């Protein structure tokens, strides 16, 4: 199960709640994107926030216009809580900077980059990166303060979650399969009929497949992982069919004659100490986030957040 980034102190711009309706928006301002407690957030600062967040999360910065209002609102709300956290002294400035430096080093180690390489790759300055990560430490201090009283989920809650989300607790499914890729549907039907009449699959793949690697391997695909939510036509076919079944799938290269040979995995995981711990962490963070979202709303309103 994937743990929320709040656990590690990294609140990604799309990973934290604060989904209250937008506060009053001012007139369009090309130079600035928001205002929090009278402090303007410039477009340049906003770009730096996106890039710093991308470095922390290991993802490309998302500059899509359709996400901008939501992302700016989320960051502005975070900044309102950061200001409040600083006033309450839940973390000293020295400790905030120290923790931020440690987090940056963790990220650099994870990405196998020097600071200079990371700054160049993400078009950041060192002050911009350090400022953003330090803000995240103030935010985490507020989160910890506001949620310190939230009790851990009970064993009954954990058990109920396990039984109502069985699809989340399966061993990884894999399918052993082979395929022959041809140009059109009529040829696919012809090759399929030849195979059903006794022709060797490997020989047919070597003769007809337009995929060079596929032909060289005699059509063998090996063990194919089956993600739960893949939209790939091949993966969807493999997920829906059992060993011994074959069929024709329309794909980007043309048409594939696919045969399922065997499958493994996809079995329920028992509710043991490992799965119980994962569920406890997931539910606890859900409960904490709900409490934090509710707790932060008066702070955000008092900060007079405006989105331009």
Mean pLDDT of the chain: 89
Cα–Cα distance measured from residue 244 to residue 261, given in angstroms and rounded to the nearest whole number: 6
Average pLDDT (255-284) is 94
Residue 7: per-residue pLDDT: 34
In the chain, where does the domain assigned CATH 3.10.50.40 lie?
170-264
First to last CA, the chain: 37
CATH code of the domain made up of 5-153+271-307: 1.10.4030
Counts for the chain of helices (H) and strands (E), in that order? 11, 7
Containing H/E element for 42? strand 39-42
Residue 14: per-residue pLDDT: 38
In the chain, where does the domain assigned CATH 1.10.4030 lie?
5-153+271-307
Residue 292: per-residue pLDDT: 97
What percent of the chain is predicted at pLDDT more than 90?
A: 79
Q: Residue 295 gets which letter from DSSP? A: H
pLDDT of 140 > 50? The answer is: yes
pLDDT digits (tens, 9 = 90+) for 84-113: 999 999 999 999 999 999 999 999 999 999
Cα–Cα distance measured from residue 63 to residue 54, given in angstroms and rounded to the nearest whole number: 11
Tracing tokens 């009954």 back to the chain, one arrives at 156
CATH code of the domain made up of 170-264: 3.10.50.40
pLDDT digits (tens, 9 = 90+) for 240-253: 999 999 999 999 88
Residues 128, 53 contacting (CB under 8 angstroms): no
Describe the chain by its helix, strand, coil percentages, rounded to 5: 55, 15, 30
Mutual angle of helices 43-57 and 126-147, in 10-degree steps: 70
The model's pTM is 0.68
Cα–Cα distance measured from residue 54 to residue 73, given in angstroms and rounded to the nearest whole number: 17
pLDDT of 76 > 70? The answer is: yes
pLDDT of 83 > 70? The answer is: yes
pLDDT of 59 > 50? The answer is: yes
Residue 30: per-residue pLDDT: 65
pLDDT digits (tens, 9 = 90+) for 117-136: 999 999 999 999 999 999 99
């Amino acid at each position: 199960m994937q743990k929320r980034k709040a656990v590690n102190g990294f609140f990604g711009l799309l990973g934290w709640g604060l989904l209250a309706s937008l506060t009053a928006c001012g007139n369009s301002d090309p130079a600035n994107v928001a205002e929090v407690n009278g402090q303007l957030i410039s477009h340049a600062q906003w770009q730096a926030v996106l890039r710093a967040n991308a470095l922390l999360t290991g993802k490309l910065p998302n500059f899509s216009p359709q996400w901008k209002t939501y992302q700016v609102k989320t960051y502005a709300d975070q900044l309102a809580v950061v200001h409040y956290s600083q006033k309450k002294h839940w973390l000293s400035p020295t400790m905030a900077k120290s923790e931020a430096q440690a987090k940056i080093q963790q990220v650099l180690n994870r990405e196998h980059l020097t600071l200079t390489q990371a700054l160049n790759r993400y078009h950041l300055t060192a002050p911009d990166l350090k400022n953003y990560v330090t803000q995240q430490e103030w935010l985490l201090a507020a989160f910890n303060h506001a949620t310190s009283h939230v009790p851990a989920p009970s064993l009954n809650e954990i058990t109920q979650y396990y039984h109502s989300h069985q699809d989340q607790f399966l061993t990884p499914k894999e399918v052993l399969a082979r395929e022959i890729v041809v140009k059109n549907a009529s040829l696919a039907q012809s090759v399929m009929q030849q195979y059903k009449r006794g022709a060797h699959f490997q020989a047919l793949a070597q003769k007809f497949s337009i995929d060079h690697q596929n032909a060289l391997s005699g059509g063998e695909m090996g063990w194919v992982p089956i993600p739960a939510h893949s939209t790939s036509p091949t993966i969807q076919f493999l997920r829906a069919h059992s060993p011994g079944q074959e069929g024709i799938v329309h794909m980007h290269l043309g048409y594939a004659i696919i045969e399922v040979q065997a499958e493994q995995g996809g079995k329920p995981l028992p509710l043991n100490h490992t799965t119980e711990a994962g569920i406890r962490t997931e539910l606890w963070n859900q409960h904490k986030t709900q409490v934090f979202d509710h707790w932060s709303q008066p702070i955000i309103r008092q900060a007079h957040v405006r989105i331009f």
